[in-house]
């Protein structure tokens, strides 16, 4: 009996014409991406419907065939959504799984769908659509996180806490001001997300394998139908570009780094030694052996997820760095990195938003800590400059002596008797005590962006108007 190369059991029905027998098991395993790219089913179907509609509009396929194709694709969409679709590894990827099912459903008309396109522009389209949606979701999630911080900042615009450099007490700040630092960070992340959406907002479909196509297609029509600003301008670049995925990962890595710093602060703040915040039960766990413990597991896991996200960024940069133009199969490895990072990022932002909203802030502990470690020393030096006309360097020296004296007496700067201060510098009067409290210290820092409650409130208003 003559061997038939259309036997789909022994050779792939999409490119099987040249192959006498099916791929061996290892080839099938290394080649198949259906295990992960089935996530792209909705984007693939959307793209195919837009493509088929354009083909019919341009007279490249008949309206009847287009109707069959669109109907079949919608049936497949509900099959997949309803869990009634059997994915086959033999059919490699989501594109061929869907096309093969379409052939079963509508017969030969299915074969016309792939006119004037290739899996290279098809996958570029599907993945772009997916990343675009993910960026839009990230933008919304960052907005909620920023809103959570704005609420806490408003509530604590006057709550004094120690500000740190080198994790050593530096100067008093307000907790509201500290919260607003995170608003700035996540605000930058969100604007990076918006720029990334702008960068990727070009439709790849119609670039075909790499060179474009001889069919009279209308790429502007498909771009519009799929919600893109315009079509991409170079077909070679289009099928070999994964910048949009790398940009997503880079943004995820920077956002993750911010989330991880916040996680680290929450871990520190929630220790009994600091006691600045108490996490809600919802975002902490107990120890199976030590009944007294409440562990900041969610914060720790956010800190760890950042490691995974960084790994994904490096992986995709490495996958892409040696590839000649245009498409190479290496690029199939782009998806798992992005899917994994997206899942981690979503979880991390959601967990942090919950933690920030739920945590109890211990303002008494913060205030007590704010006053320790001679945190108002700079205020004393500034007072000497302002009120006694000393050059700042001399004031710094005088203050250093006052700090040393307080340290030797085991008291705070504000607890030093006036006589002691005057012995160090005769120009000091009892007015100095007005600036030695932590409240006076923060209230005085009215420079633009400074920690004074009045300034913090201005920044809150600025962000409220933009959130």
CB of 42 to ligand ARG, least distance (A): 16
Cα-based distances in Å from 70 to 29, 47, 154, 309: 31, 11, 53, 38
Tell me whether strands 230-231 and 202-203 are parallel, antiparallel or unpaired.
parallel
* Residues sharing a CB contact under 8 Å with residue 453, sequence separation 6 or more, in sequence order: 157, 158, 174, 176, 442, 443
Alpha-carbon gap, residue 127 to 129, rounded angstroms: 5
Q: Which is nearer to ligand ARG, 327 or 374 (CB)?
A: 327
Residue tagged active-site, from 287, 328, 372, 454: 287
Question: % helix / strand / coil in the chain, to the nearest 5?
Answer: 65, 5, 30
Q: Catalytic annotation on 287? A: yes
Alpha-carbon gap, residue 467 to 460, rounded angstroms: 10
Q: Which is nearer to ligand ARG, 114 or 294 (CB)?
A: 114
Q: Which is nearer to ligand ARG, 32 or 180 (CB)?
A: 32
Tracing tokens 């690029």 back to the chain, one arrives at 331
Residue 174 phi/psi, 5-degree rounding, is -105, 155
CB of 31 to ligand ARG, least distance (A): 8
Q: Catalytic annotation on 166? A: yes
CB of 12 to ligand ARG, least distance (A): 11
**Residues of the shown chain interacting with ligand ARG in the complex, contacts defined by CB under 6 A:** 33, 37, 93, 119-120, 123, 327, 329, 331-332
Alpha-carbon gap, residue 467 to 464, rounded angstroms: 5
Half-sphere exposure at residue 163, Cβ-oriented, CA atoms within 13 angstroms: 20
CB of 239 to ligand ARG, least distance (A): 9
Q: Which is nearer to ligand ARG, 123 or 352 (CB)?
A: 123
Q: Which is nearer to ligand ARG, 331 or 460 (CB)?
A: 331
Alpha-carbon gap, residue 297 to 165, rounded angstroms: 26
CB of 121 to ligand ARG, least distance (A): 9
CB of 45 to ligand ARG, least distance (A): 15
Q: What is the CA radius of gyration of the chain?
A: 31
Beta bridge partners of 155: none
Q: Which is nearer to ligand ARG, 38 or 396 (CB)?
A: 38
Beta bridge partners of 285: 295
Residue tagged active-site, from 166, 288, 426, 447: 166
Task: Give the residue numbers marked as catalytic.
Answer: 166, 287
């Amino acid at each position: 009996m003559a061997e038939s190369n259309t036997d789909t059991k022994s050779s792939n029905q999409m490119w099987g014409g040249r192959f006498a027998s099916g791929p061996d098991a290892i080839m099938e395993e290394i080649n198949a991406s259906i295990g992960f790219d089935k996530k792209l089913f909705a984007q693939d179907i959307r793209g195919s419907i837009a493509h088929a509609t354009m083909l019919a509009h341009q007279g490249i396929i008949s309206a009847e065939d287009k109707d069959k194709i669109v109907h079949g694709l919608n049936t497949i969409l509900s099959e997949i959504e309803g869990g009634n679709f059997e994915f086959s590894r033999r059919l490699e990827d989501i594109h061929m799984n869907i096309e093969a099912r379409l052939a079963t459903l509508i017969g030969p008309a299915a074969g016309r769908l792939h006119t004037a396109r290739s899996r290279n522009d098809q996958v570029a389209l599907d993945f772009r659509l997916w990343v675009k949606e993910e960026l839009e979701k990230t933008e919304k999630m960052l907005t909620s996180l920023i809103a959570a911080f704005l609420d806490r900042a408003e509530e604590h615009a006057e709550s004094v806490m120690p500000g740190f450099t080198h994790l050593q007490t530096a100067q008093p700040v307000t907790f509201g001001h500290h919260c607003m630092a995170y608003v700035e960070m996540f605000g930058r992340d969100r604007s990076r997300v918006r720029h990334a959406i702008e960068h990727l907002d070009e439709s790849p479909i119609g670039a075909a394998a790499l060179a474009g196509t001889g069919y009279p297609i209308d790429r502007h029509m498909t771009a519009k139908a799929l919600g893109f600003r315009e079509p991409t301008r170079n077909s070679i670049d289009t099928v070999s570009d994964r910048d949009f995925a790398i940009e997503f990962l880079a943004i995820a890595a920077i956002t993750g780094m911010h989330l991880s710093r916040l996680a680290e602060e929450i871990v520190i703040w929630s220790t009994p030694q600091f006691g600045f915040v108490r996490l809600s039960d919802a975002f902490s766990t107990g120890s199976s052996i030590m009944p007294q413990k409440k562990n900041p597991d969610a914060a720790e896991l956010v800190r760890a997820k950042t490691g995974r996200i960084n790994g994904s960024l490096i992986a995709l940069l490495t996958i892409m760095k040696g590839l000649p133009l245009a498409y190479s199969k290496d690029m199939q490895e782009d998806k798992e990195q992005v899917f994994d990072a997206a899942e981690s990022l979503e979880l991390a932002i959601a967990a942090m938003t919950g933690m920030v909203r739920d945590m109890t802030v211990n303002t008494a502990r913060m205030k007590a800590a704010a006053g320790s470690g001679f945190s108002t020393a700079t205020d004393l030096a500034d007072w000497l400059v302002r009120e006694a006309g000393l050059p700042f360097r001399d004031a710094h020296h005088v203050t250093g002596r006052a700090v040393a004296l307080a340290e030797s007496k085991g008291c705070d700067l504000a607890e030093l008797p006036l006589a002691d201060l005057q012995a160090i510098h005769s120009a000091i009067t009892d007015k100095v005590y007005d600036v030695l409290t932590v409240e006076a210290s923060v209230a005085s820092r009215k420079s633009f962006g400074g920690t004074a409650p009045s300034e913090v409130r201005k920044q809150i208003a600025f962000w409220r108007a933009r959130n």
